[in-house]
Amino acid sequence: MNWYRQSIRYLQGIGEKRAVALEKAGISFVEDLLTYFPRKYLDRSQISKIRQLRIGQNATVVGQVVDFRLFPGRRPRFVLRLADETGELNCVWFHGANYMKNVFQIGEVLAVHGKVRFFRGYQISHPEYDRLGTGKESESLHTGKIIPLYPSSKQLSEVNLDSRGFRRLLWSLLGDYSRQIEENLPPKVIAQYKLLSRRAALNAVHFPDSMEQLQDAQRRLKFEELFFLELMMAYRRLRWRRPEKGIAFERVGERTRHLVERLPFQLTEGQKQVLREIVADMKKPIPMNRLLQGDVGSGKTVVALVSMLIAVENGYQAALMAPTEILAEQHYLTFHHFLEGLGVRVALLIGNQSKKQRQEILEGIAHGKIEVVVGTHALIQEGVNFPKLGLVVIDEQHRFGVMQRAELCQKGYHPNVLVMTATPIPRTLSLTIYGDLDISILDEKPAERATIRTTWRFEDKRDDIYLFVRQQVLQGQQAYVVFPLVEKSEKMDLLAATESFEKLRTSIFKDIPMALLHGRLRSDEKEKIMNEFKAGNIKILVSTTVIEVGIDVPNATIMVIEHAERFGLTQLHQLRGRVGRGLQKSYCILIAKKPLATEAWKRLETMVRTNDGFKIAEVDLQLRGPGEFFGVRQHGLPNLKIADIISDSKILLEARRAAFELVESDPALKSDEHQAVRNYFLEHYQEKMELGKVA
């Protein structure tokens, strides 16, 4: 077995207790420990001497603990005196003072960081601090100028693996193993991108001699991490690309032209461009695997419609899967409207249809009579058999997992695939996450759109808000009122929505036709309500988030969102996207309940400030972090230890190019100089490749 796959249990200084704590933290092998990277570094040249401190300065001070004391009372306070050779500094804690008294030892060396104030001498309150060890040890461990600080946890600290403990452990580990660390990137890549060797980088990232060296080390390790990630993407794509397998659509003919002529509007330049990209893909004998990204309301549906007709013209079937019944129903109506006139048979397949109805549809599909099928998850159930499935479209793809996508594709033989999403993400990011997909971006909205005015208010303004809604409705507008509904508290949420609906219906809106829509209703009830709303017979639609995605009723111009503080930013933006679809000026009014958490406040403010899906996605990304935002697991991506796909996008692009070039030049990684890459890849990524297979 390779040395780096050795269990940490054989290492010096690791007994049973430590081993258990480390393994719980995900560190089982020597390699995990070597890649347990410092969370930050203390540069000795940035350390201030106490005598030279200035009031108001943000300073880092290293000194010895000379004394500490807890001052009890109504507001207890913990004061610690720290000394260097030039003077003394007081560190003060008000919060958690009782706890702090057990943390430190007299004589140990601390690094503290914070804003310097003057109160009976220099003082920092609530400093960030790191324990560097006792006097002698802290000196001997680091001859270097830069001290690495490691992340730790309560469990790890209990076995003395705080920052200091890790420093010791890694120091001795590198002493023993450093010479065995081998290169895992191709020599050509190392040379071309001027990278440090793996050995030098791992040494320097833990114990750097200078900040420059540290940066080089970090760049190398980030590059490596992203390189292997992209290598995985390159292989996934290769699998898609195996030429002999796909379907080549030769014709883009009469019926397609007729359809475009029958549309009530001109296609935008953006839509035409995207369609050209799709047509080019579909003409190739390689299956299309394309992501269409476009903000809410940018007009993705019609792109799907045209693409599906092309499949039909070439003698194939096409299927579109949407996340909700209401949306599937809407798409069905649209498609039916435009396609039946052209002699195309369109069907809707959802969960709640009668047995007889379902049977008829399934037979129609199985005999190839039904050419276009629009549906929900019901499409991927057993018994749905397409003899000639040539195109699969997934709408609002972020609502589905890779598995579901794959299941629908497996209903055909390497069909063309178009996935659509309104969650816009920066291009470099989509490259990583959807690295195996080609990407089309719809970045312009149909020109003639009214603006949406967004505001947020606390609940005490609710009466005024509904009065405004009433006035607008009396002038002919239609409105949505949305209530949150989350799985955890589904019953309560539904009850709250129902009660509020009743209250509105019997008071302020008593003379206005309205309806309540939620996921628990029967399909035909939902259908009826949506149709009435579309027809303008229902003026106010009170709803749970079932209308979140896709719904398109251009005459609706008011969106009121209750408990807006409970919604995520992307969700709010999606909901807002239900209005502003026509020429009339539209309003989005967010009602929030006190007390408002800072993050919720930021979300509401962001909504008011911008209607640009890209900007909103960026803020959402910042607030939630990439893992949450993308549902990392859903995409089968490995966790990144050192690289950050947002801030390291430049390195990401380089690593991507290098990885793709490698796969192009030596797909089986056969040549001698690629053996190290091959071995490393197989050892670390094989499993994830298997998962990728279904994507």
HSE (side-chain half, CA atoms, 13 Å) at 268? 20
CB 77 within 8 A of CB 100: no
Which CB, 323 or 550, lies closer to Mg ion? 550
Q: Residue 162: which of 138, 139, 182, 188 has the closest Cα?
A: 138
Which CB, 110 or 530, lies closer to ligand ADP? 530
Q: Residue 582: which of 445, 441, 483, 472 has the closest Cα?
A: 445
CB of 186 to ligand ADP, least distance (A): 42
CB of 542 to ligand ADP, least distance (A): 22
**Site map (CB under 6 A) of ligand ADP, residues 377-416, x = contact:** ----------------------------------------
The partner in contact with residue 581, picked from ligand ADP, Mg ion, none with C-beta cut-offs of 5 to 8 angstroms by kind, is ligand ADP
Cα 67 to its chain centre, rounded Å, is 47
d(Cα 334, Cα 445) in Å, to the nearest integer?
A: 19
Does 614 engage in binding with ligand ADP (CB under 6 A)? no
CB of 422 to Mg ion, least distance (A): 7
How is residue 592 annotated by DSSP? E
| CA torsion through residues 115, 116, 118, 121, sign | positive
Q: Which of 287, 294, 435, 692 binds ligand ADP (CB under 6 A)?
A: 294
CB of 580 to ligand ADP, least distance (A): 10
DSSP3 helix / strand / coil % (the chain, rounded to 5): 50, 20, 35
Q: How far apart are the first and last CA of the chain?
A: 32
The partner in contact with residue 455, picked from ligand ADP, Mg ion, none with C-beta cut-offs of 5 to 8 angstroms by kind, is none
State the number of binding residues for ligand ADP (CB under 6 A): 19
Which CB, 236 or 581, lies closer to ligand ADP? 581
Taking residue 276's Cβ as centre, other Cβ atoms within 10 Å add up to 11
Does 534 engage in binding with ligand ADP (CB under 6 A)? no
Question: Cis ω on the peptide bond leading into residue 151 (within 30° of 0)?
Answer: no
Does 446 engage in binding with ligand ADP (CB under 6 A)? yes
Does 617 engage in binding with ligand ADP (CB under 6 A)? no
Q: Backbone phi, then psi, for 37, in 5-degree steps?
A: -85, 150
C-alpha triplet 394, 398, 402: angle, nearest 5°: 70
**Site map (CB under 6 A) of ligand ADP, residues 548-567, x = contact:** --x-x-x-------------
Specify whether the backbone of 426 is left (phi greater than 0), alpha (psi in -120 to 50) or beta.
beta
Q: Is 447 exposed, middle or buried (0-12, 13-18, 19+ CB in 10 A)?
A: exposed
Does 298 engage in binding with ligand ADP (CB under 6 A)? yes
Q: Which of 299, 412, 424, 636 binds ligand ADP (CB under 6 A)?
A: 299
Cα 96 to its chain centre, rounded Å, is 35
CB 295 within 8 A of CB 614: yes
Interface stretch with ligand ADP, choices 80-88, 207-215, 260-268, 465-473 (CB under 6 A)? 260-268
Tell me the CA distances in angstroms from 88 to 52, 53, 235, 558, one per residue in order: 11, 11, 60, 63
Q: Which of 92, 221, 296, 441 binds ligand ADP (CB under 6 A)?
A: 296
Which CB, 581 or 674, lies closer to ligand ADP? 581
Taking residue 412's Cβ as centre, other Cβ atoms within 10 Å add up to 22
Q: Is 324 exposed, middle or buried (0-12, 13-18, 19+ CB in 10 A)?
A: buried
Interface stretch with ligand ADP, choices 308-316, 526-534, 546-554, 613-621 (CB under 6 A)? 546-554
Strands 108-115 vs 77-84: parallel, antiparallel or unpaired:
unpaired
Which CB, 421 or 472, lies closer to Mg ion? 421
The partner in contact with residue 294, picked from Mg ion, ligand ADP, none with C-beta cut-offs of 5 to 8 angstroms by kind, is ligand ADP
Which CB, 127 or 577, lies closer to ligand ADP? 577
Which CB, 99 or 265, lies closer to ligand ADP? 265
CB of 450 to ligand ADP, least distance (A): 12
CB of 298 to ligand ADP, least distance (A): 4
List alpha helices for 425-489, DSSP H: 427-433, 462-474
By beta carbon distance, the residue nearest Mg ion is 550
The partner in contact with residue 298, picked from ligand ADP, Mg ion, none with C-beta cut-offs of 5 to 8 angstroms by kind, is ligand ADP
Q: Which of 159, 211, 267, 663 binds ligand ADP (CB under 6 A)?
A: 267
Q: Residue 313: which of 343, 356, 358 has the closest Cα?
A: 343
d(Cα 148, Cα 48) in Å, to the nearest integer?
A: 18
Which token pair is 512? 């206005």
Does 265 engage in binding with ligand ADP (CB under 6 A)? yes
Which CB, 550 or 626, lies closer to Mg ion? 550
Does 550 engage in binding with Mg ion (CB under 5 A)? yes
d(Cα 296, Cα 549) in Å, to the nearest integer?
A: 9
Which CB, 162 or 325, lies closer to Mg ion? 325
The partner in contact with residue 268, picked from ligand ADP, Mg ion, none with C-beta cut-offs of 5 to 8 angstroms by kind, is ligand ADP
CB of 21 to ligand ADP, least distance (A): 49
H or E element, residue 60: strand 58-71
State the number of binding residues for Mg ion (CB under 5 A): 1
Interface stretch with ligand ADP, choices 294-302, 342-350, 539-547, 664-672 (CB under 6 A)? 294-302
Which token pair is 179? 């010479």
HSE (side-chain half, CA atoms, 13 Å) at 495? 4
Cα 653 to its chain centre, rounded Å, is 19
Interface stretch with ligand ADP, choices 7-15, 264-272, 344-352, 645-653 (CB under 6 A)? 264-272
d(Cα 157, Cα 164) in Å, to the nearest integer?
A: 10
CB of 395 to Mg ion, least distance (A): 6
Q: Which of 62, 185, 274, 422 binds ligand ADP (CB under 6 A)?
A: 422
Does 636 engage in binding with Mg ion (CB under 5 A)? no
Does 576 engage in binding with ligand ADP (CB under 6 A)? no
Contacts to Mg ion by CB under 5 A? 550
Query: Residues interacting with ligand ADP, by CB under 6 A?
Result: 265-268, 271, 294, 296-302, 422, 446, 550, 552, 554, 581
